[in-house]
Amino acid sequence: MSDIWIMRIGHRPQRDKRVTTHVALSSRALGAKGIFVDTEDPVLEENIRSVVGRFGGDYTIETGVPWKRKIAEFPGKVVHLTMYGQRVDEAIPKIPRDEDILIVVGAEKVPPEVYQRADFNVSVGNQPHSEIAALAIFLDRFTGGSELYSDRHGRMTVVPNERGKTVVDASR
């Protein structure tokens, strides 16, 4: 499968720190290659890199990335998640698998230019909810669930356990 990238727009470091952190962590867990965040936020970068350092994989984060230029120049398809878009189940079969995709998620009101530039405006239900929920459902459906338990070869590995916690720390 080609690469999946996230573009987070409207990030306000104080107000959105938890939500944007969870957008990044959820997308990493569900198979994305990395995230671009429009507002510079070194703390956010450090937090995400710390998780990658412990749990593995090659997920990347870049902040202070101007979203207009990123969506204009992205060499693949731009998928904008919005409650106003076409139904996710109808959109997914139309999205090419041989090109990278850039998934745009907002924080507040998303400017009209995003709707116009997007190759696909996709809704995950037509009710207002959350960028984390929308992204997770979209990614799980787009990847057919294949990424959930893929091995990231990290220092820390969680072994599924019906009761309690089993974590293998390769450094010990």
Q: Is there a contact between 104 and 138 (Cβ–Cβ < 8 Å)? A: no
Smallest gap from Cβ 44 to ligand SAM, in A, equals 17
Q: Which of 139, 158, 167 is nearest to 1 (CA)?
A: 139
Residue 116 lies near ligand SAM (rule: CB under 6 A): no
Residue 134 lies near ligand SAM (rule: CB under 6 A): yes
The beta-carbon contacts of 61-64 under 8 Å, at least 24 apart in sequence, are 61/24, 61/34, 61/35, 61/37, 62/34, 62/35, 62/36, 62/37, 63/11, 63/36, 63/37, 63/38, 63/39, 64/37, 64/38, 64/39, 64/40
Residue 111 lies near ligand SAM (rule: CB under 6 A): no
Residue 123 lies near ligand SAM (rule: CB under 6 A): yes
Q: Is there a contact between 160 and 169 (Cβ–Cβ < 8 Å)? A: no
The position carrying tokens 């979209």 is 138
Q: Kindly tell me which of 41 and 55 has the beta carbon lying closer to ligand SAM.
A: 41
Stretch that binds ligand SAM, among 39-47, 62-70, 77-85, 143-151 (CB under 6 A): 77-85
Q: Kindly tell me which of 124 and 139 has the beta carbon lying closer to ligand SAM.
A: 124
Stretch that binds ligand SAM, among 39-47, 106-114, 146-154, 161-169 (CB under 6 A): 106-114
What is d(CA 71, CA 133) in angstroms, rounded to the nearest whole number? Answer: 22
Q: Kindly tell me which of 52 and 82 has the beta carbon lying closer to ligand SAM.
A: 82
Residue 112 lies near ligand SAM (rule: CB under 6 A): no
Among 82, 101, 120, 121, indicate the residue that binds ligand SAM (CB under 6 A).
82
Q: Is there a contact between 1 and 18 (Cβ–Cβ < 8 Å)? A: no
Stretch that binds ligand SAM, among 20-28, 43-51, 126-134, 158-166 (CB under 6 A): 126-134
What residues make contact with ligand SAM under the rule CB under 6 A? 81-83, 105-107, 109-110, 123-125, 127-131, 134
